A and B are shown apart, each in its own frame.
Chain A
Amino acid sequence: MTEKRKTYQITRRGFVAGSAAAAGIVGFPGVLRAQAAPVKIGLVHPVTGFLQFNGTQCRFGAVEAIKEINASGGIKSLGGAQLEAVLGDAQSKPEIGASEVEKFNEAGVSCIVGAYASGISMSTTQVAAKYGIPHVVDVGVTDKIVERGLDNVFRFGPGYGVITKVGVERFIAMNDAAGKPVKSIMIVHEDSTPFGGGTAALLEEGLTAAGFSVTKVGHPTPHRDFSNIVLQIKSANPDVVIPSSYPNEYELLVRTMQQQRVQPKGIYSVLGGSGSSYKFLAEYPEACQYIMDCNHWYNPKSAGAMALRKISEAAGVHFTYEVFLAYSAVKLVADAMEQAASADRKKIIDALAASNWSDHIMPYGPTKFVNGQNQGAQPLNLQYQGQEIEVIAPADYATSKAVFPRPA
Chain B
Amino acid sequence: MDACANLTGHGCGIILASIINGTMTGAVYALVALGLTLIYGVLHIINFAHGTLLMLAMYGVFFLNQIVGVDPYMAMPVILVAAFLFGYGLQRYVIGKTSHGRDEITLLVTLGVSIVIENLALFFFTANERNIRVPYELAGIDLGVTYLLVTQMAAFGAALLITATLWMFMSASDTGRAIRAVAKERQGARLVGINVEHIFALSFGIGTACVGAAAALLAPRFAISPRIGYTFVLIAFTVVVLGGMGSFVGALVGGFIIGIAESVGGLFLGESLGQITISLIFILILLLRPSGLFGEKLR
Interface residues of A (CB under 8 A from B): 1, 47-50, 52-53, 55-56, 191-192, 217-220, 222-225, 227-229, 231-232, 234-235, 247-248, 251-252, 258-261, 279, 283-284, 318
Contacts and interface: CB of A to CB of B under 8 A. Distances in A.
B21 A53 contact: no
B140 A231 contact: no
Contact of B131 (A192, A260, A284): A284
B77 interface: no
Nearest to A59: B127
A217 B271 contact: yes
A220 B272 contact: yes
A225 B21 contact: yes
Given A220-B272, A252-B223, A228 B140 contact: no
A218 B270 contact: yes
15 contacts: A47-B122, A48-B119, A52-B122, A53-B225, A218-B270, A219-B271, A220-B275, A227-B25, A228-B266, A228-B271, A228-B274, A248-B129, A252-B223, A260-B147, A283-B133
Contacts of A248: 129, 223, 225
B271 A259 contact: no
Given A235-B11, A259-B147, A56 B126 contact: yes
B5 to A, nearest CB: 10
Nearest to B139: A259
Contacts of B225: 52-53, 248
B76 to A, nearest CB: 21
Interface residues of B, number: 40
B86 to A, nearest CB: 22
Contacts of A231: 14, 17-18, 21, 146, 267
B20 to A, nearest CB: 9
Nearest to B227: A50
Given A259-B147, A260-B146, A227 B21 contact: yes
A330 to B, nearest CB: 20
Contacts of A192: 272
Interface of B: 10-11, 13-14, 17-18, 21, 25, 115, 118-119, 122, 126-129, 131, 133, 137-138, 140, 142, 146-147, 149, 222-223, 225-227, 231-232, 263, 266-267, 270-272, 274-275
A278 to B, nearest CB: 12
Nearest to B271: A219
Nearest to A235: B14
Contacts of B272: 191-192, 218-220
Contacts of B119: 1, 48
A219 B262 CA distance: 13
A224 B231 contact: yes
Contact of B231 (A222, A235, A259): A222
A234 B128 CA distance: 31
A328 B267 CA distance: 42
> Which 7 pairs show the lowest CB-CB distances between chains A and B?
A52-B127, A227-B21, A219-B271, A56-B127, A220-B272, A53-B127, A228-B266
